[in-house]
Structure 1
């Protein structure tokens, strides 16, 4: 808008642009972030994670991303313990896949998965969720099978 327009029209135009931007972000599946903590032998490690809860969100995952923050990640919730099979198709960065049981215990970690691969990465048993972290994070931060993940999705048993 031109500076000569009355203030109320400028304000109205700004409000409409803001609403259009919010609608576009929602349609694009804009991420919301939550905290997740892993209790390791070296102490707690906190991540800012995105949630993949719906089949469409889980199918897309971290595809087409070219970077992932060192403290970022994505948590895939499958709702119940079940065998899980993942792949790296259309995923451009190596990832650590942390397979987590419903009680929050880490069952297995697949480290530095191969970008763009269609090879199946298995949970090795029933799990509730998979946490994807930047490749090499688990080893660098001392995250191992048996560590406890704290997040609202996991209940102590």
Structure 2
């Protein structure tokens, strides 16, 4: 087993329930590939990254919505600071909420809106958007196994 495959398998095992046998589901943004867990139904989207104490470097969560409309995410029961990136149906970045802090206020946690119609939302560890120098219009590429709506 190659070193890269071992690293992907370890990352999947530790951080991503959606990975199997090192065959990570991935997205690419600004030339950087992220292994992602896909949340594409109401239950998975509602749970998101709640109650996790960490997210491995190079990983994230992709939320796939049923329709393209303004979205608002919050950090209820989320313990990891995140960058929340909103993409339209053409997979172009339409809004960013960077360095969003964890929130333990339950229903008192503030929303972080897209202010533009979005179909896909990518959550990455805080600081990734700045590291990539993301600007509006950046394109998100899907790896095999992620269906477009």
Q: Taking structure 1 as the reference length, what is the TM-score of the superposition?
A: 0.73
What count of residue pairs does the alignment treat as equivalent?
A: 123
Select the residue among 39, 53, 65 that pairs with 1:52. Answer: 39
Show the counterpart of 1:111. Answer: 98
Please give the alpha-carbon distance, in whole angstroms, between the structure 2 residues aligned to 1:96 and 1:74.
11
Give the unaligned 5+ runs of structure 1: 1-28
Question: Would the aligned equivalents of 2:75 and 2:102 in 1 still touch at CA under 8 Å?
Answer: yes
Please give the alpha-carbon distance, in whole angstroms, between the structure 1 residues aligned to 2:116 and 2:25.
26
Give the unaligned 5+ runs of structure 2: 1-15
Runs of 4 or more consecutive aligned structure 1 residues displaced over 3 Å after TM superposition: 152-155
Please give the alpha-carbon distance, in whole angstroms, between the structure 2 residues aligned to 1:145 and 1:62.
24
For the aligned residue pairs, the C-alpha RMSD in angstroms reads: 1.7
Q: From the superposition, tell whether residues 154 and 147 of structure 1 become closer, same or farther in structure 2 (CA, over 3 Å).
A: farther
Pair member with larger Rg? 1
Q: Which piece of structure 1 moves more, 98-107 or 139-148?
A: 139-148
Show the counterpart of 1:126. Answer: 117
3-state DSSP of counterpart to 1:111: strand
Matches within 5 A, 1:19-34: 30-32=17-19, 33-34=24-25
